[in-house]
């Protein structure tokens, strides 16, 4: 079982890294953003569209798979 979960885990790791790296940057170039660290945009209601929405969904899915496979690896290796 460990020999099937570990390669899946490594593949999910690489895909998750790629998903995070491919997300578009949110550039805020105003002076207030530099002082507050962009905290004003924390609760803004801007819906992601197109490529950004797809990347957010893919990152969420692969993040959940990463967590589930990590827990499965811990369980399998301890028993």
- Give the Cα separation of 40 and 31 in Å (integer): 12
* Tokens linked to 43: 């609760």
Radius of gyration of the chain (CA): 18
Residue 27 has pLDDT above 90, yes or no: no
By residue count, the chain amounts to: 79
Asked if 61 and 15 touch (Cβ cutoff 8 Å), the reply is no
Return the pLDDT at 72: 95
> What mean pLDDT value characterizes the chain?
84
Residue 23: alpha-carbon gap to chain centroid? 9
3-state secondary structure of 43: coil
Q: Would you kindly state where each structural domain of the chain is located, as residue ranges?
A: 1-20+48-79
Mean pLDDT of 23-30: 70
């Amino acid at each position: 079982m460990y020999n099937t979960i570990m390669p899946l885990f490594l593949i999910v790791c690489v895909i998750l890294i790629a998903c995070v790296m491919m997300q578009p940057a949110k550039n805020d170039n105003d002076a207030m953003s530099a002082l507050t660290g962009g905290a004003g945009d924390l609760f803004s209601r801007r819906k992601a569209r197109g490529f950004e929405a797809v990347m957010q969904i893919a990152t969420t899915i692969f993040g959940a798979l990463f967590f589930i496979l990590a827990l499965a690896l811990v369980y399998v290796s301890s028993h």
